A = this chain, B = another copy of it.
């Protein structure tokens, strides 16, 4: 991609972000927790964020299982049904009250009723994920190395210098099934078990937020600042105040360009 093509692509993505239409998740908008990292990355001339999720809890009924299907990351499968999806950790402890359908608690799975075609109800926590398109492989490598160094060990560089930033803080638990005759949701774990996994999810949200904070700092110090300075030896470092002023100028400029 020529420099010009990258700049055009970046300009297009930034205007979409500003009009809040970028995200294709069920929620449809960009998560608040992602904004600081996105703004920092997008302040650099050679990077642009293409998708993000700050982390989420989802509960869903699996779709029909087809022979060759592998569920996509976080996907519910063809014909599956979301029962609950939220990026907001304040909604974790009372998600059951928010369901639109009643739950039938059964004490444990009746394995004589279940088989490989049963449609299970799954409870998933998925952590922060971010995709960043970079102008060059050089800058993609810098971002990749920074992400790996603060624990985002499942990161990788893909086609077209797009870096996927991923971490392994997950939870993936079967909690019930859809009775295909009565269409009832049957939970085969106890309310106490749900409470336990809700608390685990909250701990994972916190860990996730802490790792995002660490990533933000390291991207600033290891990618943005170093890259702006060219080489640390060549130019004196910008002071915090100079940097803040420049960022404001750049932000205003972007707003003007986008309007």
Contacts and interface: CB of A to CB of B under 8 A. Distances in A.
Interface of A: 68, 70-73, 107-111, 114, 116, 120, 137, 141, 144-145, 148, 151, 153-159, 164, 166-174, 188-190, 192-193, 195-197, 199-200, 203, 207, 210-211
Contact of A116 (B164, B188, B203): B203
Nearest to A169: B70
Given A171-B172, A200-B174, A153 B192 contact: no
A154 B73 contact: yes
A222 to B, nearest CB: 14
Contacts of A70: 151, 167-169, 207, 211
A189 B189 contact: yes
A103 B233 CA distance: 62
B156 A164 contact: yes
Contact of A158 (B68, B71, B111, B157): B157
Contacts of A197: 174
Contact of A192 (B110, B170, B192): B110
A127 to B, nearest CB: 10
A99 B159 CA distance: 45
Contacts of A73: 153-154, 168
Nearest to A165: B156
A171 to B, nearest CB: 6
Contacts of A116: 199, 203
A114 B172 contact: no
A233 B73 CA distance: 38
B157 A156 contact: yes
Contacts of A203: 116
